[in-house]
């Protein structure tokens, strides 16, 4: 068996899936991540394949511990996603998902920036079809916005790579750092894909518009590739600590007022990535291990939550918190699985989030960032509220929405089951995961203080939620909850925000009007000159062509005589 780069198998399978009928296609798709995973485990450690291309050394396959871990993770993520989407009849979604998973693998095994760039763009191009596949107007425009932003990220990456190539004469993808324009450009490119604050809108915009199955793939790959890239190129960059801390906190507020439960999860995704970014920013062995282990766990528990919401959407056709409720009666298994995911993301002891998040938290304290530590603590409480309680509560409990449905298809349950087992397994026996991490792990997760601190945090947040509920801020009458929740989420908060920013709004309005007018004017000008009958596009009479020749001759004669 020659040492194939892992993406090759997925790309070939995507080609085959494009022509195979439903049944063999399903079998093929199930086989790909399993075979791929086995091949990956056979790859010799620290393998490096080099090819020369236009005098440049490219490394389409570099297998070290960091790549290997993400490789394993993406195979697991792809397998779970494929099982979950097995029933989907559309061929295009399957092809896109295989290409997408393959591109993620290509990116994490890329040893040079040019190869990374190719897969960086392929990630965008393949994943956008999972959004388009929803076939709604909203999905279409969200997908286009997503694509534009992702392509910009790729262009920045390429530009940065070129500058580095001129500087160092090599395209190798190793530690980059923020020195020089090239490093900064690449940092921004990674930052876009990693959903840094202010660069994050594509994620919350596009992910909830994808198909129920597509979101599961989306949540597994793009941002985790970015986390990997940051870990490889910018470990120990201090700015990341503060960027990450911001990422953990600001989405909490949005997640609380959001009604679309998949969008809540999208916000909570940014929050979780924040923990990883903080860890990468610290750059110590413990912090890096924590960040990477958390990325590993996040793919699985976020996938589980996305799948449970996907199952709800698939069965009921609704996803707004205000439209759902009481589903535990008809979907008890899904409810249980969702709660396992919620417990994992909230970092309950014995669930997977706990064993990795606490590593980052300890590292933050060890490195002497108490303020950041407090921010992360606040964020942890926030996660528990919006992802740990809100998601299962509004979907499966709360008031009874009267929806009666059944459990989702078997393949969806199976996929969620696999993810849930992994969550519990890693949570109770984390040493397998620790053994895969790039640095040696000298960390005891189930130490008394960790457990005590986390339990205190969880108990008090739960108490806060309960107190809000009992004291009537969450209205007691279930019947009216529907309206109130809707109003709270969709009207009050935005109204309050709007009123408090009225001045800003007026300014924005003027600016918008101005830019609209300018835009229209510009467009008219462009059409006037470049449009089908514009000055520059219409067929010119021969005479004026000749005139141009004369003008140019005169001009060059003059220039040449000077």
Partner 1 sequence: MIGTQLPALQVVVPLLAAPLCLALHRPFATWALTLTASALSMLVSILLLGQVLAQGVIDYAFGGWAAPFGIAYRVDLANAYVLLIVTTISTVVTIFARRSVASEVEAHNQGLFYTAWLLCLTGLLGITITGDAFNLFVFLEISSLSSYVLIAMGTERKALTAAYQYLIMGTIGATFILIGIGLLYMLTGTLNMLDMAHRLITVADSRTARTGFAFLTVGLGLKIALFPLHLWLPNAYAHAPSAVSAFLAATATKVAVYVLLRFVFSVFGVDFALGTMPLALGLAVLGTIAVLSASTVAIFQHNLKRMLAYSSVAQVGYLALGVSLATPAGLTATLLHLFNHALMKGTLFLALGCIAWRLGSVRLGDLKGLGYRMPWTMGVFVLGGLSLIGLPLTAGFISKWYLVLAALERGWWPVILVIIAGSLLAVIYIWRVIETAYLSKTNKTAGAGEAPLSMLLPAWLLAIANLYFGMHTGLSAGIATQAAAALFGIQP
Residues that bind partner 1 (CB under 8 A): 53-54, 114, 117-118, 121, 155, 159, 162-163, 165-166, 526-527, 529-532, 534, 536-537, 539-540, 542, 544-546, 548-549, 552-553, 556-557, 559-562
Smallest gap from Cβ 183 to partner 1, in A, equals 16
In the complex with partner 1, which residue's Cβ is closer, 157 or 343? 157
258 phi and psi angles, rounded to 5 deg: -85, 145
Smallest gap from Cβ 121 to partner 1, in A, equals 7
77 closest CA partner among 104, 109, 44: 104
Question: Can you tell me whether residue 127 is helix, strand or coil?
Answer: helix
Smallest gap from Cβ 138 to partner 1, in A, equals 16
In the complex with partner 1, which residue's Cβ is closer, 21 or 543? 543
Smallest gap from Cβ 159 to partner 1, in A, equals 8
Smallest gap from Cβ 550 to partner 1, in A, equals 9
Element (H, E) at 53: strand 47-53
User: What tokens appear for 35 in the block?
Assistant: 């075979």
In the complex with partner 1, which residue's Cβ is closer, 107 or 389? 107
Beta strands in 55-140 (DSSP E): 56-63
User: What tokens appear for 189 in the block?
Assistant: 């490119």
In the complex with partner 1, which residue's Cβ is closer, 510 or 552? 552
In the complex with partner 1, which residue's Cβ is closer, 198 or 561? 561
In the complex with partner 1, which residue's Cβ is closer, 500 or 556? 556
Question: Can you tell me whether residue 63 is helix, strand or coil?
Answer: strand
CB 219 within 8 A of CB 268: no
Smallest gap from Cβ 155 to partner 1, in A, equals 7
In the complex with partner 1, which residue's Cβ is closer, 467 or 548? 548
Q: What's the maximum distance between 2 C-alpha atoms anywhere in the chain?
A: 91
288 closest CA partner among 362, 369, 352: 362
Smallest gap from Cβ 268 to partner 1, in A, equals 33
In the complex with partner 1, which residue's Cβ is closer, 45 or 54? 54
Q: What's the CA gap between 161 and 303, in Å, rounded?
A: 32
In the complex with partner 1, which residue's Cβ is closer, 163 or 414? 163
Smallest gap from Cβ 117 to partner 1, in A, equals 7
DSSP 494-560: HHHHHHHTHHHHHHHHHHHHHHHHHHHHHHHHHHHHHSTTSTTTSPPPHHHHHHHHHHHHHHHHHHH
User: What tokens appear for 338 in the block?
Assistant: 């969702």
DSSP 290-314: HHHHHHHHHHHHHHHHHHHHHHHHH
In the complex with partner 1, which residue's Cβ is closer, 517 or 538? 538
Smallest gap from Cβ 68 to partner 1, in A, equals 25
| Residues facing residue 57 across a β-bridge | 52
Long-range contacts of 157-162 (CB under 8 A, 24+ apart): 157/113, 157/116, 157/117, 157/120, 157/185, 157/186, 157/189, 157/190, 158/117, 159/185, 160/113, 160/184, 160/185, 160/186, 160/187, 160/189, 161/113, 161/114, 161/116, 161/117, 161/186
Q: What angle do CA 151, 156, 158 make, to 5 degrees?
A: 95
Smallest gap from Cβ 518 to partner 1, in A, equals 18
């Amino acid at each position: 068996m020659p040492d194939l780069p892992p993406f090759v198998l997925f790309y070939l399978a995507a080609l085959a899936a494009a022509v195979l009928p439903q049944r063999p296609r399903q079998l093929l798709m199930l086989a790909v991540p399993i075979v791929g995973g086995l091949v990956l485990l056979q790859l010799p450690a620290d393998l490096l394949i080099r090819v020369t291309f236009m005098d440049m050394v490219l490394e389409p396959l570099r297998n070290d511990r960091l790549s290997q871990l993400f490789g394993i993770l993406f195979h697991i993520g792809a397998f779970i996603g494929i099982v979950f989407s097995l029933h989907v009849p559309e061929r295009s979604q399957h092809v896109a998902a295989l290409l997408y998973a393959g591109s993620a693998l290509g990116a994490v095994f890329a040893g040079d920036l040019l190869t990374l760039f190719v897969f960086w763009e392929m990630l965008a191009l393949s994943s956008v079809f999972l959004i388009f596949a929803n076939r709604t107007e909203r999905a279409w425009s969200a997908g286009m916005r997503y694509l534009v932003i992702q392509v910009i990220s790729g262009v920045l990456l390429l530009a940065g790579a070129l500058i580095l190539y001129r500087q160092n004469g090599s395209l190798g993808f190793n530690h980059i750092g923020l020195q020089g324009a090239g490093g900064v450009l690449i940092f921004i490119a990674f930052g876009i894909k990693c959903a840094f604050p202010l660069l994050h809108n594509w994620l919350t915009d596009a992910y909830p518009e994808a198909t129920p199955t597509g979101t599961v793939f989306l949540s597994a790959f793009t941002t985790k590739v970015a986390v990997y890239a940051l870990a490889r190129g910018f470990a120990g960059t201090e700015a990341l600590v503060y960027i990450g801390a911001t990422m953990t906190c600001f989405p909490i507020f949005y997640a609380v007022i959001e009604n679309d439960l998949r969008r809540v999860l999208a916000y909570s995704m940014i929050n979780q990535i924040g923990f990883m970014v903080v860890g990468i920013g610290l750059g110590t062995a413990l912090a890096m291990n924590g960040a990477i282990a958390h990325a590993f766990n996040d793919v699985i528990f976020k996938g589980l939550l996305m799948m449970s919401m996907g199952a709800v959407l698939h069965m009921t056709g609704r996803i707004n918190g205000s439209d759902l409720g009481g589903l535990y009666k008809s979907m008890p298994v899904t409810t249980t699985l969702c709660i396992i995911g919620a417990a994992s993301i909230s970092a309950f002891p014995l669930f997977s989030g706990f064993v990795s998040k606490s590593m980052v938290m300890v590292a933050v304290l060890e490195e002497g960032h108490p303020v950041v530590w407090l921010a992360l603590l606040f964020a942890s409480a926030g996660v528990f509220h919006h992802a740990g309680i809100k998601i299962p509560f509004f979907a499966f409990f709360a008031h009874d929405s009267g929806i009666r449905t059944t459990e989702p298809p078997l393949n969806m349950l199976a996929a969620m089951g696999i993810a849930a087992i992994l969550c519990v397994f890693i949570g109770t026996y984390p040493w397998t995961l620790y053994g895969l991490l790039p640095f040696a792990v000298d960390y005891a997760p189930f130490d008394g203080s960790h457990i005590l601190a986390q339990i205190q945090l969880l108990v008090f947040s739960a108490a806060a939620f309960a107190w809000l509920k009992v004291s009537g801020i969450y209205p007691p009458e279930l019947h009216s909850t529907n309206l109130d929740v809707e109003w709270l989420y969709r009207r009050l908060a935005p109204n309050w925000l709007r009123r408090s920013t009225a001045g800003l709004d007026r300014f924005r309005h003027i600016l918008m009007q101005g830019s609209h007018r300018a835009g229209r004017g510009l467009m008219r000008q462009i059409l006037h000159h470049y449009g089908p009958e514009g000055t520059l596009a219409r067929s010119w009479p021969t005479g004026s062509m000749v005139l141009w020749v004369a003008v140019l001759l005169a001009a060059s004669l003059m220039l040449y005589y000077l």
